[in-house]
Chains A and B, each alone.
Chain A
Amino acid sequence: MSDQLLISTRKGLFSARRTGKGAWALENVFFLGDNVSLTMQDPRDGAWYAALDHGHFGAKLHRSRDRGATWEEIGVPAYPAPPEGHVEKDFLGREIPWRLIRFWCLTPGLTSQPGLLWAGTLPGGLFWSEDLGATWQMVESLWNMPERRKWAGGGADVPGIHSVCVDPRNGDRVVVAVSSGGVWVTTDLGQTWTARTKGMRADYAPPELVEAPESQDPHRLVQCPARPDHWWVQHHNGIFRSTDDAMSWTEITDVKPSVFGFPVVVHPKDPDTAWFVPAIKDEKRIPAEGRVVVNRTRDGGRSFETLHKGLPQGWAYDLVYRHALDLDASGERLAFGSTTGSVWISENQGDDWLTLAEHLPPVHAVAFV
């Protein structure tokens, strides 16, 4: 079980540690004052990666090989120069710059793929590195795919890749999710891409486009590591599940207090168990009735428990972003952080929660390490 949590916030990367049974405390901060958009621990070598999003100086990537004692700045992806005279526009006719805006996802390759890292970014570029982030190459097949032009901003002003899932059975098979632009799979290490959104629907699109792959806004996509045919998506439109390796999706409806939200995590061994943080859809984006709750299903979405013990149950307006809910490798410990700087941890799969922090900067992401 993990005893340490990294919390990526608008004003720094905070570290919390378990100090005893049911007790956690903040113990350190890195990059204080800087916007840390996400962190990732590479299970192959234990290295930490921190993506920074400087307001003035651009997106940067730092790595620590000694659990935060020292950090080194490494390479960042570069978007290609657009063809002469080309003005890129999104599906709605708004201009999209061909330049790195933000890291939105970092995913390591398999143990059999040493050195391989994937990076999903805004405004929609997928990149990979074969040297642990020293240099990056764009996956041009996805960027040049005609359907990519139909992506649009969702969660940000421009499209972004926020989920990259490397199949544990075959590292050449990678599934990415785009806000807003669907779910796409490659089985040949990024040479070709196919949409995998059958069964999804987008009520916010015109009738002709409700089922179009590019209309789908998956907020977060996760794959069960031990049962990789099983997937969950927290979608703008609700909750979707696949048990046939993303070939088709089934919508889960009638979830209280809401099917809307951003994050989802799945148990590492039990594909029927997953957690969500519901919010009122969709312009308001606040907890229903000012109560912070976590929804858990243990039966593949047939029923949900609304977990609240230890969470604020009134006058609370915490929103939880798509990377701000994490589950440790044991499947026992959960943590989530909010836009209003609160962080909660559970040591029993969400039955009970303890408050780790209430006054941090807005939380972008949390990660057990």
Chain B
Amino acid sequence: MPRVAFTRNLQRHVACPPCVVAGATVRESLEAAFASYPKLRGYVLDEHGVLRFHMAVFVDGVPIEDRRGLGDPVSESAEICVMQALSGG
């Protein structure tokens, strides 16, 4: 099952420990994580479910293509990293 890890800078604001989730896409995987930590959603996605402009998501080290739909596929062993983009610093 995919593993999702969040930038440590997010953990200052909201609980978001690394978690193993069920999901075949980035969207499904993140939604599974948000189900455990509901406040986390608004820090990563905007009110329309779009990845925030200054956030970045990597799947096995590769930035995702679909920042709006989060439809990028993830494998059973995928490592999903939710990071800050330097642009927002």
Could you mark each residue 247-289 of chain A with 1 if its beta carbon is under 8 Å from any beta carbon of chain B, else 0?
Answer: 0000000000000000000000000000000000000000000
Task: List chain B residues, Cβ under 8 A from A210.
Answer: none
What separation, in Å, do the CA atoms of A36 and B27 have in the docked complex?
30
> Measured between alpha carbons, how far is A57 from B45 in the docked complex, in Å?
8
* B84 CB contacts on chain A under 8 angstroms: 56
* A76/B42 in contact, CB under 8 A: yes
How many angstroms between the C-alpha atoms of A212 and B54 in the bound complex?
A: 37
* Residue picked from B39, B42, B88, most chain A C-beta under 10 Å: B42
Question: Contact between A58 and B52 (Cβ–Cβ < 8 Å)?
Answer: yes
Contact assessment for B39 and A55 in the assembled complex, using a CB-CB cutoff below 8 Å: no
What are the residues of chain B within 8 A of A60 when measuring CB–CB? 13, 42
B88, A55: Cβ atoms under 8 Å? Answer: yes
| B10: interface (CB < 8 Å) | yes
Q: Across the A-B interface, how many residue pairs have beta carbons closer than 8 Å?
A: 40
Interface size class of B (residues with CB under 8 A): 10 to 19
Which one of A58, A73, A78, A98 has the greatest number of beta carbons of chain B within 10 Å? A58
List A31-88 residues whose CB lies under 8 Å from chain B.
Answer: 54-58, 60, 73, 76, 78-79, 81
**Given contact pairs A73-B39, A76-B42, A54 touches B13 in the complex (Cβ within 8 A):** yes
Q: Which of B47, B48, B52 contacts A57 (CB 8 A)?
A: B52
- Residues of chain B with a CB closer than 8 A to A55's CB: 54, 88-89
Residue total for A at the interface (Cβ-Cβ under 8 A): 14
A99-B48 contact, Cβ under 8 Å, with A55-B54, A55-B89:
yes
**Is A357 an interface residue when CB atoms closer than 8 A count as contact?**
no
Q: In the assembled complex, which residues on chain A have CB atoms less than 8 Å from the CB atom of B43?
A: 54, 57-58
B22 neighbours in A (Cβ, 8 Å): none
CB-contact partner of B42 in A58, A81, A98, under 8 A: A58
Tell me, yes or no, whether B55 is within 8 Å of chain A by CB.
yes
Instruction: Indicate whether A16 reaches chain B with its CB closer than 8 angstroms.
Output: no
Measured between C-beta atoms, what is the minimum distance from A50 to chain B in Å?
Answer: 13
Given A56-B55, A57-B10, A100 contacting B88 (CB threshold 8 A): no
Rounded to whole angstroms, the CA-CA distance of A73 and B41 in the bound complex is: 14
Instruction: Please give me the 3 A-B residue pairs with the lowest Cβ-Cβ distance, nearest first.
Output: A78-B47, A55-B88, A57-B43
A interface residue numbers (CB < 8 A to B): 54-58, 60, 73, 76, 78-79, 81, 98-100
**29 cross-chain CB contacts under 8 A:** A54-B13, A54-B43, A55-B54, A55-B88, A55-B89, A56-B54, A56-B55, A56-B85, A56-B88, A57-B13, A57-B42, A57-B43, A57-B44, A57-B52, A58-B42, A58-B43, A58-B46, A58-B52, A60-B13, A60-B42, A73-B14, A73-B39, A78-B47, A79-B47, A79-B48, A99-B46, A99-B48, A99-B50, A100-B47
Residues of B within 8 A of A (CB): 9-10, 13-14, 39, 42-44, 46-48, 50, 52, 54-55, 84-85, 88-89
